[in-house]
Amino acid sequence: MDGWLLWGGLAAGLLIAMVTAPVGVSGAVFLLPVQLSVFAVPNPALTPTNLLYNVVAGPGALGRHHRAGSLWSPLTRRLITGTLPGVVAGAALRVFVLPGPAVFRIMIACLLLPLGLWLCARTLRPSAPAAVGTGEPSPGTLTGLALAVGVVGGLYGIGGGSLLGPILAGRGLPMSRLAPAALAATFATSVVGAATFALLALFHGGDIAPHWRLGLACGLGGLIGGYLGARLQPRLPETLLRLLLGLLAIGTGTLYAAQALT
């Protein structure tokens, strides 16, 4: 059983990160249903387990972006500034308020389905290429958006790139800027979120601590897959990356909607 847990987690993390890293998504939003349905991680331990995955997996893609000189941008700093206080608030809400998984699934479906459809429509529309780079939100809007996404990340351990990516790509940000910034914000959020859960576990009962072996195994797979995905990203056309991000959002939203209705 332990062998299946470790090798299954490694394979899941590698495959998910390799597909999602080129579009600035850590893959934690896809790992969450795998934890629930395949590995049977209890609530609320699946949230810090997902955050642990992000912490271990993040340096793979981030190291590649750092060497390419695309990591530390003003966009990265604004997203991190917003997500860090948000994730602390989200972690506290997760432990003391504990919304059930059904609420989470409905919320994610309602967010990602329209976002994915919107991004695909803007990408496929003939005038969409001219919009790339022209609709960047103001610094205050970026920070506020990152704060809200940080709260969601602390609640459910999904990082935030899966939400930030479709929104900002739909506003016209090129994937070459968006992907490293979203991944950096996800990594910083996950480090602070995991530390917050570790502190809360000292003073609160229940399954709050992460599932360490599974989180580390998935994270190691994500470390390898994230590096490979980030290495692949500059070789892929902008239109393909934006469509991939939109389709990932649609697929994830559909999955969570189906789970919420069953």
pLDDT tens digits along 119-152: 888 788 755 444 444 566 788 888 888 888 888 7
Contact between 201 and 209 under an 8 Å Cβ cutoff? The reply is: yes
Q: Which residue range(s) make up the domain with 81?
A: 2-261
| Confidence band, pLDDT 50/70/90 cuts, at residue 64 | confident
Type of residue at 177: R
Total domains in the fold of the chain: 1
- The sign one gets for the Cα dihedral 164, 234, 177, 195 is positive
Contact between 24 and 183 under an 8 Å Cβ cutoff? The reply is: yes
For residues 220-227, average pLDDT = 90
- Check whether 92 has a pLDDT greater than 90: no
How far apart CA 260 and CA 248 sit, in angstroms, is 18
85-89, 146-150, 157-161: range with lowest mean pLDDT: 157-161
* Highest mean predicted confidence (pLDDT) among 85-94, 97-106, 127-136, 245-254: 245-254
Would you give the distance in Å from CA 172 to the centre of its chain? Answer: 20
